[in-house]
């Protein structure tokens, strides 16, 4: 029970601090926008989003504000900064799922096309290379080293499993007199978790 209270304190403190940060950063972003510093404003909204709290109204506000600002920017480089910032923020929030993940496809398309335009503008490659360049840029963007959520969660939970199984074997099995049944049960659990752990590491 005592530990649950501490977990609760940790959760409530996190929510309180993150929400406070979100509110302040959004306000700072708004002020910067008024003074015409759009890129810094976007960065403030970005930080607000990085202080993500589920169900916080500030998340959607930050996403919307960045998204609305992107097309208004004059320079193509700044548009790229804007679209890609939002995309990367969402990836930084990913856990079992990506919040606002439905926006990623649109953002990726925008980012990719802007990159292509900028590359062509600056480097003036032959026209027959446009397709290749598009494919290159797309393949760079498609690469994602993030391991499978299913298998990586299997890894971390089975790690906990085999550590706890061994702890069980030690505490219950090796008391005096030795409890062979506890050892056997613990070892079976240990082997199961350990196998799942190895499999998870391989598959993730």
Residues in region 51-110 near other proteins by CB under 8 A: 51-54, 75, 77-78, 80-81, 84-85, 87-89, 91-96
Q: What whole-number distance in Å separates Cα of residue 198 and Cα of residue 186?
A: 18
C-beta separation of 25 from 59 below 8 A: no
Considering CB under 8 A, how many residues would be counted as binding other proteins?
A: 78
Encoding tokens for residue 47? 């930080």
Nearer to other proteins, 51 or 67 (CB): 51
Rounded least distance, CB 119 to other proteins, Å: 4
Q: State the SS3 of 26-81.
A: HHHHHHHHHCCCHHHHHHHHHHHHHCCCCCCHHHHHHHHHHHHHHHHCCCHHHHHH
Give φ, ψ of 44 to 5 degrees.
Answer: -70, -40
Nearer to other proteins, 14 or 68 (CB): 14
Q: What whole-number distance in Å separates Cα of residue 168 and Cα of residue 50?
A: 39
Q: What whole-number distance in Å separates Cα of residue 72 and Cα of residue 68?
A: 7
Q: Is 33 in the site for other proteins (CB under 8 A)?
A: no
C-beta separation of 201 from 154 below 8 A: no
Interface residue with other proteins among 37, 168, 183, 189 (CB under 8 A) is 37
- Taking residues 107 to 146 in sequence order and writing x for each that binds other proteins by CB under 8 A, - otherwise, the string is --------x--xx--xx-x---x--xx--xx-xxx-xxxx
Rounded least distance, CB 99 to other proteins, Å: 8
Among positions 150-189, residues that touch other proteins (CB under 8 A) are: 152-153, 155-157, 159-160, 163, 166-167, 170-171, 174-176
Rounded least distance, CB 69 to other proteins, Å: 13
Q: Is 195 in the site for other proteins (CB under 8 A)?
A: no
């Amino acid at each position: 029970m005592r530990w649950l209270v501490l977990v609760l304190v940790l959760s409530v403190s996190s929510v309180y601090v993150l929400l406070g940060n979100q509110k302040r950063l959004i306000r700072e972003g708004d002020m910067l926008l008024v003074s015409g510093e759009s890129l810094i404003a976007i960065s403030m909204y970005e930080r607000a989003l990085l202080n993500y709290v589920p169900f916080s109204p500030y998340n959607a506000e930050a996403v919307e504000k960045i998204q609305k600002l992107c097309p208004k920017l004059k320079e193509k480089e700044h548009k790229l900064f804007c679209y890609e910032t939002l995309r990367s923020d969402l990836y930084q929030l990913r856990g079992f799922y990506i919040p606002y993940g439905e926006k990623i496809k649109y953002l990726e398309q925008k980012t990719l096309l802007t990159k292509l335009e900028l590359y062509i503008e600056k480097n003036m490659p032959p026209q027959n290379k446009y397709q290749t360049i598009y494919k290159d840029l797309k393949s760079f963007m498609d690469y994602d080293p993030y391991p499978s959520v299913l298998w990586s969660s299997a890894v971390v939970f089975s790690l906990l499993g085999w550590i706890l199984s061994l702890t069980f074997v030690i505490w219950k099995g090796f008391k005096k007199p030795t409890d062979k049944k506890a050892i056997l049960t613990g070892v079976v659990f240990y082997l199961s978790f350990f196998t799942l752990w190895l499999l998870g590491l391989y598959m993730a």
